[in-house]
Structure 1
Amino acid sequence: MFFTYLRRELRRRRKAALVISMGLALGIGLVLTVTSVSAGMKNAQSTVLHSLYGLGTDITVTKSAAAGAGGGAQKFGIQQSGSGSKSSSADRLSVNQGTATMASSTVTQVASQSNVEAAVGSLLLNDFKFDGSFKLKSGTSSTSTGTGQGGGQQGGEGGGQGGTPPSGAANFSLNTLTIMGTDTSNITVGPLSSLKITSGVNFTSAQSNSLVAVVDSSYATQKKLKVGSTVTISGKAFKVIGIATASSGTSAANVYIPLTQAQTLADMKNKVTTVYVKASSSQQISAVKTAITKNVSGTTVTTASDLASTVSGSLSTAANLVTSMGKWLSLAVLAAAFLISSLLTSSAVNRRVREFGTLKALGWRSKRVIGQVMGEALVNGLIGGVLGIALGLAGAAAITAFSPTLSASTASSTASQGGPGGGGGPGQAASAAAKAIEVHLTAPVTLSAIAVAVALAVAGGLVAGGFGGWRASRLRPADALRRVE
C-alpha cells in the first residue's frame, strides 16, 4: 500500500517533485564540483612540491651556517711559463653559501628518534671548474685569475677576470654544476627517490665508494653524455651508469655520485648537508618533527606541510579562492536548496489537506501520514542526488577540460633551508624556487565526494519530509474535511 500510494502521488505531482529534486540537485552539484576542484588544488600543490622537492621523504633536517660563513667566492690562480700553447684546469668544490655541514653521526641520531622508519644523509656540492688555455712567447709568462660564486641548477658558463701581460694571451671559462653525494644503501629515501632511471641502472648498495655516477637527463643532453660516458670531477673520472629524469619539475642536481666519494673529493669526511627522514606513518610526521627539533639541536626541520604554505603564484590565488569563497558559496547554495525543498514540500502538504484529512478519517494514524510524506520527500531527494551527481561530474569534467594552466613557485627564503624529497638540498632548492612550475588544474571526482553527495541527497529529503510530515501530523480530520483543496 505504501509504495503503491507513493508511486501514484509522485506520478500525479511529478512537476512539483521535479522542481524539488532540481533544487536539491543544484546544491549537491555545486558542492560536488567545489569538492572536486579543492581536491584538484591539493593535487596541483602536491605536484609543485614534488617538482621542487621530490617525493619519498617526509622530513628534511638541515643546518644554516653562521653569518658570513660557508660558500663564498671561488678564486683561481693559474700561472704558466715557457712558450707555445698551454692549458690548465682546476676544480673547486664547496657547499652553498649560508649552508653548514653536519657530522654524519647526525644521521644516526635522527634515525634513533621514535617513529622514524629511515634516515639517510646527502652532501650537496657546487663544482666550479676552471678551464683555461694560454698562448705564450718564449721567455714570457702568463697569469690568469678567476672568481666565481654560486651554483647553477643545470650548469652553465660563468665569467671571471683574466689578466695577461702584453707578450701573452689567455682564454678561459668557468663552468658550474651541482653534485649530490648520495647514500647508496637506501635510494628509496632522499634525493634519488623522485628520479626515474630512463637509461642504464641506479646505484646499488655495493657501490658506496665506487667511481660511478647517475646523471640528470637535462644535463646529459646538454653535455652529450650517455651510459658508459665519463664525468671528470676534481681529476677523478666517474663512469655514467644511469640517466635519470625527475618525475616532474627540476632535478636536485646535475650529477649524483656515492656519498663517500663526494666527501673525499670535497675534503669533507663524515660530513653531510641534509638528512632525509621517512616517518613510520603519515600520522607520525608531526611527532617526528617535534622529537628531532627537541633532541637534535641547531638544526632546521622541515616537512612537506611546512612547504605547502610557501607556494605562491596563480595556483595559490586559485586555491585560496576555492578555500575562502567556494566552500562558503556551496554551503549557502546547499542551505538554500534544503530550505526551498522544505518550503515546497510544506506547500504540497498544504494543498493536500483534504486528502490527508480523509486518510485520517479512514483510520490512518499520524505516524503513517508522516511516513508517507517523508517517503515521497526521500525519493525526491534521491532523484535530486542523482541529478546533482550528474551536474557535479559535468562541472568537474568542464573544469578539467577548459581550466587554464596555473603557475606556482616557493619562497626562496624557505627553499634555502632545504625541503623534503628529492630536491631538498639548500642551495638547489633556492635555485628551483626561482623557476616557476606550471601545472594544469584538474577536478578529480572521488568516491568519497560521491558518497557525500548521496548523503546530502538523503539529508535533504529527510529535512524536507520531516518538515512537511510535521505539518501534516498537526491536521485534525474534522478541520481538514471542512477545507476545500
Structure 2
Amino acid sequence: MFFTYLRRELRRRRKAALVVASGLALGIALVIVVSSVSSGMKQAQGKVLESLYGLGTDMTVTKAATPPKEGSGSTGRPRFKFDAKDADEGGKEQSSDRVMVQGFQTLSSSTVAKVDGQSGVADAVGGLSLQVMKVNGQFERGEFEKAPGTDGKAQPPGGSDQQNGKVRGGGADFDVDSYSVYGTDVGKLDLGPLTSSRISEGRTFTGSESDAKVAVADASYAKEKKLSVGDTVTISGTKIEVVGIATPESGDAAANLYLPLKRAQTLADAKNKITTVYVKAADSQQIGAVKSAIQKNVSGTTVTTSADLADTVSGSLSTASDLASSVGKWLSIAVLVAAFLVAGLLTSSAVSRRVREFGTLKALGWKSGRVTRQVVGEAVVNGLVGGVLGIAVGLGGAYAVTAISPTLTAELGSAGGQSGGGPGAMGGGPGGALSDSASKALDISLTAPVSTTTIALAVGLAVAGGLIAGAFGGWRASRLRPADALRRVE
C-alpha cells in the first residue's frame, strides 16, 4: 500500500518532484566537480614533488647553512686556468672544465647510516649533486701593423701610434657549457630522484657498477646533445659511456646526467661526501616525529619534508589549488545548503496544498506517523533522483575538465634559506635546497579524478537532502487535524 501510493503520488506530481530533484542535483554536481578538481590539484602537486624528490621519498636531509668565515675570501666561484700555447704549434684550442658540488655544502657519507638508524626510518640513501662547467674555445693572435713610411727607420721614443704602429685584431672566443650531474647509489635505485624517471632506452645501473664509467642521460638532455645509448661524454678528462636514457614521468628531470655515486665523488674530488640523504619513513603518519628525531640526533643538518616543499610551490597550480580548497569548498556548501532549504520549502509548500488529501486520509484512519512517513518517503525518492542526476552531471563536469586538461604552472621557490640540497639545487631542485635567487617551473596538466568516496558522498547528500526536505513536510503534515483539514473542503 505504501509503495503503491508513493508511486502514484510521484507520477501525479512529476513537475514538482523534478524541481526538487533538480535543485538537489545542482548542489550535488557542484560538490562532485569541486571534490574531483581538488583531488586533481593534490595529484598535480604530488607529481611536482615526485619529479623533484623521487618516488617513495618522504623527506631529505641536507647540510645546515653555515655563514662564510670572515676574511676567508672564498666565494666558491669556479676558476679556469689556461696555459700559454703558441698558435703556430697547433695550440690555439683551449679547453677546461670544472666539476663542482652544487651549493658547495657537503655531508659525510657516514651521515646516511646515522639517519638510517633513527627510529621510524624505513630506508635512507645518499646522493651527490654536481654542476659541471666546461669552457672551450681559442685565443686569436693579434697582428702588428706598421705605420706608413716607417720601414727600416728607427722610431723616436715616445712616438705616436701612427709613428710606431700598433697591434690590431686578436682576442678570444670561448663557449661555456653548464650541465648538472647526479651521483646515485647503485645499490638502492628504488629511492631518490632517479626513481621519478623511467628508462626509455638502454638500461639502468647494475649493483656491480658502483665506480663504473657509465651514465644514464635525461631524455631532453640527450636529445639536445644528440646522445644515444653507446655514446660517450667526457667529464674532467674522463670518458663516460651512456648506457641508458631516462624519461621523467612528470615535470623536469633532477639532473642531466646520472652517474654511480663513487664515480661522481671521484670526478668532484669529494671522496666520501654527499649533498643529500633521501629518507623513506616507515609510517607516513609519523613523518613529523621522524623529522624531529633526525634534527635532534644528527647535528648540522636540515630536514625538509614533502609538506615543507609543498609550501614553496607557487604559480597557477597554487592559485587554482587555493581556489578549489577554499572558494570552491564554501561555494559548494552554500549551494548545497540553498538546495536543501529550497527542497524543504517546496516539500512543505506541497504539503500545504495537500491539506484536503491528508485530512481525508486521516479521516479514513491514517495515523499522523503514517502520513509523515508518506511525505518523507516521497522526499527521499526525490532526493535519490536528484542524486542520480547530480552524479551524472558531476561526472560529466569532471570528464570535461580531464578532457580539456588545462595546463597549470608550478614554480618552486626558496624553501627558507636552506642550502646544499639535491639535484638542481642551484636552479631549484629536490630536498627543498633552493637558492634564494633561483626557482624551477614545471607545467602540469590538470585532471579531475572521481573516486568512489566522492560517489558515496553524493549518494549520502542525496539521501540527506531527501530527509531534510521530508522533515520539513512531515512536520507540517503531522500538525494537520482531520477536522481542520475537512473544514477547508469545498
TM-score when normalising by structure 1: 0.87
Q: Can you list the C-alpha shifts for 1:234-269, whole angstroms capped at 9, x where unaligned?
A: 222222111112112221112111111111222211
Q: Work out whether 1:90 is the aligned partner of 2:96.
A: yes
Q: Work out whether 1:114 is the aligned partner of 2:114.
A: no
Contact 2:380 2:470 in 1 (8 A): yes
With over 3 angstroms needed to count, the CA separation of the structure-2 counterparts of 1:81 and 1:348, relative to structure 1, is closer
Alignment equivalent of 1:77, drawn from 64, 76, 81:
81
Q: Can you list the C-alpha shifts for 1:338-393, whole angstroms capped at 9, x where unaligned?
A: 11111111111122222222222322222222211111111000001011112212
Q: CA RMSD in A?
A: 2.6
Gaps of 5+ in 2: 143-166
Please tell me the residue identity of whatever aligns with 2:368: S
Alignment equivalent of 1:297, drawn from 276, 292, 299:
299
Deviation, structure 1 residue 425: 4.5
* Bigger mean CA deviation after superposition, 186-195 or 428-437: 428-437
Please tell me the residue identity of whatever aligns with 1:345: T
* Bigger mean CA deviation after superposition, 328-337 or 217-226: 217-226
Runs of 4+ in 1 over 6 A off after TM superposition: 165-169
Show the 5 A alignment for 1:79-478: 79-81=83-85, 83-86=88-91, 87-97=93-103, 99-133=104-138, 171-402=173-404, 404-414=406-416, 417=419, 423=423, 425=425, 427=427, 429=429, 430=434, 434-478=439-483
Contact 2:54 2:191 in 1 (8 A): no
Please tell me the residue identity of whatever aligns with 1:340: V
State the alpha-carbon separation in 2 of the partners of residues 357 and 100 from structure 1: 86
Deviation, structure 1 residue 397: 2.8
Q: Work out whether 1:32 is the aligned partner of 2:36.
A: no
Deviation, structure 1 residue 435: 4.3
State the alpha-carbon separation in 2 of the partners of residues 384 and 130 from structure 1: 69
Q: Which has the higher strand share?
A: 1
* Bigger mean CA deviation after superposition, 269-278 or 358-367: 358-367
State the alpha-carbon separation in 1 of the partners of residues 265 and 75 from structure 2: 16
Q: Can you list the C-alpha shifts for 1:26-65, whole angstroms capped at 9, x where unaligned?
A: 1111111211221222222223333444433111111144
Q: Can you list the C-alpha shifts for 1:408-453, whole angstroms capped at 9, x where unaligned?
A: 211135596477xx85746552599634322233222222111111
With over 3 angstroms needed to count, the CA separation of the structure-2 counterparts of 1:2 and 1:204, relative to structure 1, is same
With over 3 angstroms needed to count, the CA separation of the structure-2 counterparts of 1:223 and 1:173, relative to structure 1, is same
Deviation, structure 1 residue 81: 4.7
The number of residue pairs the alignment matches comes to 455
Please tell me the residue identity of whatever aligns with 1:372: Q
With over 3 angstroms needed to count, the CA separation of the structure-2 counterparts of 1:350 and 1:265, relative to structure 1, is same
Q: Can you list the C-alpha shifts for 1:148-182, whole angstroms capped at 9, x where unaligned?
A: xxxxxxxxxxxxxxxxx999876543332211111
State the alpha-carbon separation in 2 of the partners of residues 29 and 320 from structure 1: 20
| Percentage of pairs with the same residue | 62
* Bigger mean CA deviation after superposition, 7-16 or 86-95: 86-95
Deviation, structure 1 residue 80: 3.0
With over 3 angstroms needed to count, the CA separation of the structure-2 counterparts of 1:312 and 1:246, relative to structure 1, is same
With over 3 angstroms needed to count, the CA separation of the structure-2 counterparts of 1:433 and 1:42, relative to structure 1, is farther
Contact 1:378 1:465 in 2 (8 A): yes
Contact 2:358 2:477 in 1 (8 A): yes
State the alpha-carbon separation in 2 of the partners of residues 381 and 167 from structure 1: 87
Gaps of 5+ in 1: 138-164
With over 3 angstroms needed to count, the CA separation of the structure-2 counterparts of 1:266 and 1:458, relative to structure 1, is same
Please tell me the residue identity of whatever aligns with 2:78: Q
* Bigger mean CA deviation after superposition, 332-341 or 226-235: 226-235
Please tell me the residue identity of whatever aligns with 1:72: G
* Bigger mean CA deviation after superposition, 249-258 or 436-445: 436-445
Please tell me the residue identity of whatever aligns with 2:11: R
Deviation, structure 1 residue 88: 4.4
* Bigger mean CA deviation after superposition, 85-94 or 11-20: 85-94
State the alpha-carbon separation in 2 of the partners of residues 62 and 93 from structure 1: 20
State the alpha-carbon separation in 2 of the partners of residues 394 and 324 from structure 1: 23
- Is the radius of gyration larger for structure 1 or structure 2? 2
Please tell me the residue identity of whatever aligns with 1:95: V
Structure 2 residue matching 1:203: 3-state secondary structure: coil
Please tell me the residue identity of whatever aligns with 1:118: D
Q: Work out whether 1:49 is the aligned partner of 2:77.
A: no
Contact 2:105 2:420 in 1 (8 A): no
Please tell me the residue identity of whatever aligns with 2:248: A
Please tell me the residue identity of whatever aligns with 2:320: A
Structure 2 residue matching 1:75: 3-state secondary structure: coil
Deviation, structure 1 residue 136: 7.4
Match of 2:12 in 1: 12
State the alpha-carbon separation in 2 of the partners of residues 436 and 293 from structure 1: 29
Please tell me the residue identity of whatever aligns with 2:30: L
* Bigger mean CA deviation after superposition, 462-471 or 398-407: 398-407
Contact 1:179 1:255 in 2 (8 A): yes
Please tell me the residue identity of whatever aligns with 1:309: D
Contact 2:140 2:172 in 1 (8 A): yes
State the alpha-carbon separation in 1 of the partners of residues 417 and 452 from structure 2: 35
Please tell me the residue identity of whatever aligns with 2:194: L
Contact 1:418 1:424 in 2 (8 A): no
Deviation, structure 1 residue 119: 0.4
Contact 1:415 1:426 in 2 (8 A): no
